[in-house]
Amino acid sequence: MIPDLPADIDQIKGFLADDEAAALYEHALAESSKGPVLEIGSYCGKSTIYLGLACRQHSSTVFALDHHRGSEEHQLGEFFHDPDLYDGSEGLVDTFREFRRNMRKADLDDTVVPVVAGSEAAARHWQTPLAMVFIDGGHSLEAALLDYRCWTAHLMRGGILAIHDLFDDAHAGGQAPYAVYRMAKASGLFEDLGQVNTLGLLRRL
């Protein structure tokens, strides 16, 4: 049972299974006493709420990194495009308004720090060690590799690296997160903690 979980959590837009959400919460709860958590790819904040509720118990912080213009698959005409999140006046996807609304409703404004940027810009002068990094951003190989290379160097020893949307079958889903997961496992820098559904978990050695 997760304390203070919003009653409407299942109505929040997102792509997170219940067992994956529980695993994120449990690992964030364990790690956030040591330092902050970074989420890459917040979308409308469903996963952010689970991370935030865990971090709030230790008066810790979730840095929620997202440019809020949607990934490749969210763009106009693509399979996961949501017209409710499209700003027709600008001709752009805009998930930030929905994200902020969900953080406010979950009472997480003092726990979650939105970082509205891409990985490269945000990481350029980053100095804060991270207790957990959750990669759930763009699913192109270029985007997934950039997220991995920008942020794993800031992960503390003993910290958790979580990577979402792992599919070994290309017919089931995109392959870029799975390729990054295999790269991390082969690097010798991580202990493989296995998978929960499509969520891969590793511990920095």
Tell me which residues are annotated as active site: 139
What span, in angstroms and rounded, lies between the C-alpha atoms of 174 and 180? Answer: 12
Over the chain, what HEC string results?
CCCCCCCCHHHCCCCCCHHHHHHHHHHHHHHCCCCCEEEECCCCCHHHHHHHHHHHCCCCCEEEECCCCCCHHHCCCCCCCCHHHEECCCCEECCHHHHHHHHHHCCCCCCEEEECCCHHHHHCCCCCCEEEEEECCCCCHHHHHHHHHHHHHHEEEEEEEEECCCCCCCCCCCCHHHHHHHHHHHCCCEEEEEEECCEEEEEEC
The Cβ-side half-sphere exposure at 24, using a 13 Å CA radius, reads 28
155 forms beta bridges with 130
